[in-house]
Structure 1
Amino acid sequence: MRRKVIFRLVGGGIPVEEINHILFVESDGHVQQVHTVDGSTLETRQSLSTLLQTFESIVPGQFVSPGKGYIVNQSAIHIIKSDYIEIKGHKIPMAKRKYRQFQEEYFKFIFQKDA
């Protein structure tokens, strides 16, 4: 089943994006930049917490926050290091205090998905 999410864009427009096409969300002040698989970026003023709640209601556990200002799609993660996560060449900073918890959540997500 294909799950989709709707964004209200800065400057107008309401695109519908397939949830699995979202790689990560980066906060830039009051604007959130949604990075997608095809390399495009959508800008929305919805808060990170609102976006995370929306993602959680559609696909529980798939999107998590590795630190302040980011939400990542766990199925898009290539590398997890103690200080960053890599998704398609983008290095996303990870809060040091969150590393162990993040790693546990990631393994739980991956093994649950494969089961």
Structure 2
Amino acid sequence: MIEAIIIDDEPKAIELLENYCNRSSVILCIKSFRNPIEALQFIEQKTPQVIFLDINMPKLSGTQLAKLIPSNSHIIFTTAYPEYAVESYNLNATDYLLKPITYQRFFKAVDKVSIALKKETELKNKSTKPTIIVKSGYEKYQISIDDILYLEKDGNYMVYHTLKKKILARETVSAALERLPETFIQTHKSFIVSTTHIEVLKSKHVHIKGVKIPVSHRYKVNLEQKLS
């Protein structure tokens, strides 16, 4: 549920947006304000995800207030004056609602915020995933640990089999194991696997994405203990 606040000096305008929020299943109005100064104090404490912000208000205009609001709050301007549209976009507003506001237009703005929040979450999750750098010839690849399926020794080289590609690196098995997390384990003198990607464990091999990877007697007990 998206948490929102409403800032408008007109009670009827607040009432309309509150009703619209109540009709929606994706957004919740947690507070409404007629005084922008009081609203700013609340924002500094709570940082709501969405702020419905009127532009023409006494004491502090919506555009002035927008400059004081943290960037992680999405601003949707609400006003009866279309001439403020350009200025609102210069302030990185997510949307601009022209009064009188219909529910359909309100819902479209909320949907825009919902998409933006989803993208922000995906980007945040992606940026926090652990990665390693693999040197292949003159090139270096940054690979997400979660994307590595297994490693296969090929002569003096190690082949990184990932969800997207294969990367060849001049590396020993011991060197690869040393920099990989504990979710990786050696199953054979030439193979290291990600235990998170193992689909089936059999007596002499494991399955990862339909590929049979050998499990030698030397490493089988350690692998079974790890999976248990």
Fold match (TM-score > 0.5): yes
How many percent of aligned residue pairs carry the same amino acid? 27
**CA-atom RMSD, angstroms?**
1.1
Q: SS of the counterpart of 2:188?
A: coil
**Gap runs ≥5 in structure 1:** 108-115
TM-score with structure 2 setting the length: 0.43
**Gap runs ≥5 in structure 2:** 1-127
Distance apart, 1:68 and its partner CA = 0.7
Amino acid at match of 1:65: Q
Q: Identify which range, 91-100 or 45-54, moves more after superposition.
A: 91-100
Give CA deviations for 1:77-111 in whole Å, capped at 9, x if unaligned: 0011110011001111000243233111112xxxx
Which residue, 179, 197, 203 being the options, matches 1:82? 203
Q: Which has the higher contact order (CA 8 A, sep 6+)?
A: 1
- Alignment of 1:4 with 2:4, yes or no, is no
Distance apart, 1:45 and its partner CA = 0.3
- Alignment of 1:41 with 2:162, yes or no, is no
Find the counterpart in structure 2 of residue 28 from structure 1. 154
Whole-Å separation in 1 of the counterparts to 2:153 and 2:142: 20
Contact 2:186/2:219, CA 8 A, preserved across alignment: no
Which residue, 180, 198, 220 being the options, matches 1:99? 220
Amino acid at match of 2:134: F
Q: Which runs of 4+ in 1 moved over 4 A?
A: none
Find the counterpart in structure 2 of residue 72 from structure 1. 193
- Alignment of 1:19 with 2:145, yes or no, is yes
TM-score with structure 1 setting the length: 0.83
Amino acid at match of 1:42: I
Amino acid at match of 1:34: Y
Which residue, 161, 168, 176 being the options, matches 1:51? 176
